[in-house]
Amino acid sequence: MAAKNAERGLVEQWREILSLHARTQCELDRALHGHGLCASDFEVLDVLAEGEAVDGGGAYRVQEIAERVHLSQSALSRLIARLEKDGLVERGMCADDRRAVRVCLTERGSALHGEVRPVQREVLTRMLTQAD
């Protein structure tokens, strides 16, 4: 009986995590929509902006971004193409590996990230602190 209760507790905990993630994702999408972004768009911009802050370059291989934003390579490629079309990121060949594509923020992308970052952080603060 104790094993079944422990198992049920794990399943309930997992479902609570999924529910919190879904609610937070919806809130982020709503908050960012007015800026022309969705939560996944912002995550890519945020990863690239963090790279700029750390090493001044801010260019990442697509595979490196995929590992950080938890999107499939094909979904991420479509998202990056859309961000590039909107003038927020640039793609280029990797100097170290000509098969790889590197992505970096444009000036416009960096400015939009700076404008929207506080909005995203406010949503995260509200959603994740009320979960405690």
pLDDT (tens place) for every residue of the chain, 132 residues total: 777 888 899 999 999 999 999 999 999 999 999 999 999 999 999 999 987 655 556 688 888 899 899 888 889 999 999 999 999 999 987 766 667 788 999 999 999 999 999 999 999 999 999 755
Task: Give the tens place of pLDDT for each residue, 6-33.
Answer: 889 999 999 999 999 999 999 999 999 9
Structural domain span for residue 121: 2-129
Q: What CA–CA distance (Å, rounded) separates 40 from 79?
A: 8
Tally of domains in the chain: 1
CATH code for the domain of 114: 1.10.10.10
Contact 44, 89 (CB under 8 A): yes
Tell me the C-alpha to C-alpha distance, in Å, between residue 69 and each of 8, 57, 77, 103, 132: 30, 19, 12, 14, 24
